[in-house]
Amino acid sequence: MSFGCFAGNLENLTDVQDAANYTFVKGDIVSASDVQKVFTEFKITDVIHLAAESHVDRSIEGPMEFVMTNVVGTVNLLQAARETWKNNESHVFHHVSTDEVYGSLSDEGLFTEQTSYDPRSPYSASKASSDHFVRAYFHTYGLPVKLSNCSNNYGSHHFPEKLIPLMINNIREKKPLPVYGKGDNIRDWLWVEDHAKAIDVIFHNGEFGESYNIGGLNEWKNIDLVLFLCRLMDKKLGRNEGESEQLITYVTDRKGHDMRYAIDATKLARELGWKPSITFEVGLENTVDWYLANSEWVEQITSGAYRAYYENMYQNR
């Protein structure tokens, strides 16, 4: 079951499009009838819910899309599951969320599953709301839910507006590298394949009604990350050392920009045996190699025609 969002791209599914256990359905998660139709037609037994609007900058410019997709869309899925599943013991509804629901950390400490919610942007507020609805359906209706909150993902096929692919593409094209404020904001980075493995283990072995934090144990200041990418790209592209660093441009910090995120994934490791499989340096080099080898994919995604198509789709849904 797949419901498209702004950063979605059907070409990302070419590797599985001919698989016997895969079906693509074009629908709108905001449409209760679309969601219910999928549950009924395909006799959906389990859900891993990842559909979301996820770009903080876009949420600041247009918060209602985030309310509709992330909150209303989630409730539509929960309601369809509740109305369709008669025996809750044989089903799983896994809701995937973000560490941004916890707000901003000071210089010390980590987000745990007991950290109070304190969202600071329309995006994180919409995800916090969806988390609360998932828990409410567990406590009120006994829906068999599991939740996870992850740190920043990175890897192949990442939408080019996100920090790492944006920097890789701009370095390649010798465009300015915009860094918010002084670049002191800190993020915990998680290899996307490690995230997928964590979702799998939580889906199969996690406890119902429980939340699990998924983090890469890997904190980086934004500016340090950009500088590392510059050095790595100079080496990959055969440029003089320090050449790409000259492209860094400091821009006005965005509103509601949280200073630091850092996940404590102890519960996930202790109870389910998950841990990150690779270092950030290795994962980042793999990511750079993928983007350099797939420049046509990036160019297509960033093209005016692609953006116009998806923006029109959202305006007319």
Active site residues: 99-100, 123
Measured CA to CA, the distance from residue 224 to residue 232 in angstroms comes to: 12
- Classify residue 11 by its DSSP letter: G
Cβ neighbors of 293 (< 8 A, separation 6 or more) are none
Q: What's the chain's length in residues?
A: 317
Half-sphere exposure of 282 (CA within 13 A, CB side): 7
Query: What burial class does residue 308 get, using C-beta atoms within 10 Å of its C-beta: 0-12 exposed, 13-18 middle, 19+ buried?
Result: exposed
- As a whole number of angstroms, the distance between CA 257 and CA 125 comes to 13
Phi, psi dihedral angles at 192 (to 5 degrees): -60, -35
Q: Give the Cα separation of 307 and 147 in Å (integer).
A: 32
Buried b (16+ CB within 10 A) or exposed e, 43-66: ebeebbbebbbbbbebbbeebebb
- Contact indicator for 173, 298 with CB cutoff of 8 Å: no
Which two structure tokens, joined as six digits, stand for 47? 């859900």
Q: Give the list of residues 6+ apart from residue 117 with CB closer than 8 angstroms, or none.
A: 101, 102, 103, 128, 131, 132
- Of 243, 98, 115, 122, nearest to 174 by C-alpha is 243
CA triple 194-260-162, angle to 5 deg:
55
